[in-house]
């Protein structure tokens, strides 16, 4: 099996548009892989929400690292971790990259905002941007630190989110590409792909482009392919579907004071055991424990 870093790099450079699906713990990472996806988006929003905190760096970077380690152990496809701003300056980014490589994470994405960040989809949130040269330094530090040549560093441009416009987005794209980014993530929260397509129209196609169509979800995938986008991230749909399922189950059990109304609707315990790879332990017991 190819290294996760190499798997990710191939995805990024595939001629066809490719996809990452969000996961936020070991179980969801495994579900993403079983669904047939070739890569995982370790979403900061989904990981923090699953931990019961806000997407404002309330979970510490080592707490995120622990979650992503479980995700990595539970899957054999690469994870691209959403590492927000890199949790500090260039030096924090260097340590982060070392730890991600040690834990089998295929790629990291850092965004050009200030720590602690606000989620990009929040209405009316402050979205101050990092100075271009400071952020370019973080990208350079990440690239200089990686030991595995296939480890990818993705620079995320928040110029549209901060309402600084296309000119600023292109200026930042150029600077981050020059600093050594393996790909650029250009984010937008409009309900159409207008900003993204305007960016693609001007971008000289010097490195792969990644997008997150959470808000412009009605855009057909063929539009992304035709625009030359390399990677599309489905950023939070597993977290959101699990929230709806849990709320429904909890309400029914609370209302009916019984399990009768849900048992047939929910995943059998047997399926949970399968996802945990329980059979493997049974076989290992036969091999390593004395016979009973
Ligand atoms: C995430 O999934 O955490 C992201 C994408 O960073 S967004 O929520 O749109 O900022
Ligand atoms: Mg995020």
Residue 116, preceding peptide bond in cis (omega within 30° of 0): yes
Q: Kindly provide the ipTM of the predicted complex, given to two decimals.
A: 0.99
Segment 84-114, tens digit of pLDDT: 999 999 999 999 999 999 999 999 999 999 9
Residues with CB under 6 A from ligand 1: 43-45, 82, 119-121, 212, 214, 235-236
Q: Count CA within 13 A, CB hemisphere, residue 45.
A: 16
Kindly report the average pLDDT of the chain as a whole number: 98
Q: Please identify which of the residues 55, 84, 112, 150 carries the catalytic annotation.
A: 55
So what's the pLDDT on residue 1? 85
150 as an active site residue: the answer is no
C-alpha of 215 from chain center:
16
- Model's pTM, two decimal places? 0.98
DSSP 64-78: HHHHHHHHHHT-SS-
Q: How confident is the model at residue 168 (pLDDT cuts 50, 70, 90)?
A: very high
From 23, 187, 213, give the residue whose CB has the most ligand 1 atoms within 8 Å, as the site to mutate: 187
Question: Quick one: DSSP state of residue 255?
Answer: H
Whole-number Cα distances in Å, 122 to 24, 127, 216, 283? 20, 10, 15, 49
- Mapping DSSP onto H, E and C, the string for 187-210 reads CCCCCCCHHHHHHHHHCCCCCCEE
Token duo for residue 136? 């370019």
Contacts of 281 (CB under 8 A, 6+ apart): none
Which ligand is closest to the CA of 235, given by its number?
1
Domains annotated on the chain, with CATH = 4-236 (3.20.20.60), 243-288 (no CATH)
Segment 215-226, tens digit of pLDDT: 999 999 999 999
């Amino acid at each position: 099996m190819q290294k996760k870093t190499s798997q990710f790099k191939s995805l990024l450079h595939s001629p066809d548009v490719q996809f990452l699906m969000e996961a936020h713990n070991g179980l969801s990472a495994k579900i993403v892989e079983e669904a047939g996806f070739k890569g995982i988006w370790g979403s900061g929003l989904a990981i923090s929400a699953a931990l019961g905190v806000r997407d404002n760096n309330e979970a510490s970077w080592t707490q995120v690292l622990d979650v992503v380690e479980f995700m990595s152990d539970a899957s054999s496809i690469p994870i691209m971790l959403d590492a927000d701003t890199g949790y500090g300056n260039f030096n924090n980014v260097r340590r982060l990259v070392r730890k991600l490589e040690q834990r089998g994470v295929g790629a990291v994405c850092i965004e050009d905002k200030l720590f602690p960040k606000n989620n990009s989809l929040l209405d009316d949130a402050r979205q101050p941007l990092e100075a271009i040269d400071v952020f370019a330094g973080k990208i350079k530090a990440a690239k200089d630190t990686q030991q595995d040549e296939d480890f990818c560093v993705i620079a995320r441009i928040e110029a549209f989110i901060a309402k600084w416009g296309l000119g600023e987005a292109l200026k930042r794209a150029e600077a981050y590409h020059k600093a050594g980014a393996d790909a650029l993530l250009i984010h937008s929260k409009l309900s159409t792909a207008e900003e993204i397509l305007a960016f693609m129209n001007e971008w000289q196609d010097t490195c792969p482009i990644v997008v997150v169509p959470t808000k412009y979800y009605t855009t057909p995938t063929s539009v992304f392919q035709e625009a030359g986008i390399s990677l599309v991230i489905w950023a939070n749909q597993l977290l959101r579907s699990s929230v709806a399922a849990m709320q429904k189950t909890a309400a029914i059990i609370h209302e009916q004071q019984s399990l009768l109304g849900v048992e047939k609707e929910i995943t059998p315990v047997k399926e949970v055991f399968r996802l945990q790879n329980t059979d493997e332990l049974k076989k290992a017991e036969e091999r390593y424990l004395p016979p009973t």
